């Protein structure tokens, strides 16, 4: 996966999440979407410069609102814009760090690290032929009680391909089709 491919995934996923999270909140939604769009096709250095510019815009909007000449919508627009630009930068900075490339030394939010790891693991899984979750093994539902002792939940044993009770000797082989 290239830098730009990862950046596009983060931006696209971010726009989807912003549309879901800020539904009905126009200035926040517009700021978040514009923030993600401002990150497209940018190097890590350009992203950092965008973070700094966005922080300046937030400060100006807050100062204008405090002085009485700005609106709360402007403040929310720029806060959401800056938040999403910084989120994108942190994700890409983490990706650069784990791929042993030049990165800015700063604390990475855990959610950014989890997002990048999620993208990397999905890409690796697709490359290895993973097509989705494996279906549940046929047989009794694992939340049912044992038919013999009726005191505990049965469990699936992968090694023996069977459903077993951990208390009594009840075992049922899983049906394969």
Query: Any idea where the domains of the chain sit in the sequence?
Result: 3-127, 134-177
Query: How confident is the model over 63-83, as a mean pLDDT?
Result: 94
User: What pLDDT is recorded for position 177?
Assistant: 42
Q: How far apart are CA 124 and CA 121, in angstroms?
A: 5
- What proportion of the chain, given as a percentage, has pLDDT over 70? 72
What torsion, rounded to 10 degrees, do the Cα atoms 15, 18, 20, 23 define?
A: -120
Distance separating alpha carbons of residues 162 and 146, to the nearest angstrom? 13
Look at residue 135 in the predicted model and tell me its pLDDT. Answer: 44
Model-wide pTM > 0.85: no
Identify the residue with better confidence: 119 or 60.
60
Distance of CA 166 to the CA centre of its chain: 37
Q: What DSSP letter does each residue of the chain carry, written as one string?
A: --HHHHHHHHHHHHHHHHHHHTTT-HHHHHHHHHHHHTTTT--HHHHHHHHHHHHHHHHHHHHHHHHTSS-HHHHHHHHHHHHHHHHHHHHHHHHHHHTT-----SPPPHHHHHHHHHHHHHHHHHHTT--SPPPPPSSS-TTSBPTTT-SSB-EEETTTTEEE-SSSS-EEEPP--
Given a cut of 70, whether residue 100 has pLDDT beyond it is yes
Q: What residues have CB less than 8 Å from 128, skipping those under 6 apart?
A: none
pLDDT of 151 reads 58
Q: The tokens of 169 are what?
A: 């000797």
Average model confidence (pLDDT) across the chain: 81
Higher-scoring residue by pLDDT: 55, 107:
55
Nearest-Å Rg of the Cα atoms of the chain is 25
pLDDT tens profile 2-25: 888 889 999 999 999 999 999 989
């Amino acid at each position: 996966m290239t830098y730009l491919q990862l950046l596009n995934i983060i931006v696209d996923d971010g726009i989807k999440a912003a549309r879901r999270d800020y539904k009905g909140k126009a200035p926040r939604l517009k700021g978040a979407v514009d923030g993600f769009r401002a990150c497209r096709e940018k190097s890590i250095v350009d992203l950092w410069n965008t973070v700094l510019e966005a922080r300046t815009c937030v400060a100006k909007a807050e100062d204008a609102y405090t002085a009485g000449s700005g609106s709360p919508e402007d403040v929310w627009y720029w806060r959401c814009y800056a938040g999403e630009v910084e989120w994108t930068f942190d994700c890409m900075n983490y990706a650069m760090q784990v791929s042993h490339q030049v990165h800015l030394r700063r604390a990475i939010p855990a959610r950014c690290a989890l997002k990048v790891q999620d993208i990397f693991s999905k890409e690796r899984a697709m490359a290895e032929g993973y097509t989705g979750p494996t279906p549940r093994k046929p047989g009794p539902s694992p939340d049912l009680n044992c038919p013999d002792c009726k005191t505990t939940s049965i469990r699936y044993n992968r090694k023996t391909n069977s459903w077993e009770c951990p208390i009594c000797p009840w075992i049922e082989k899983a049906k394969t089709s």
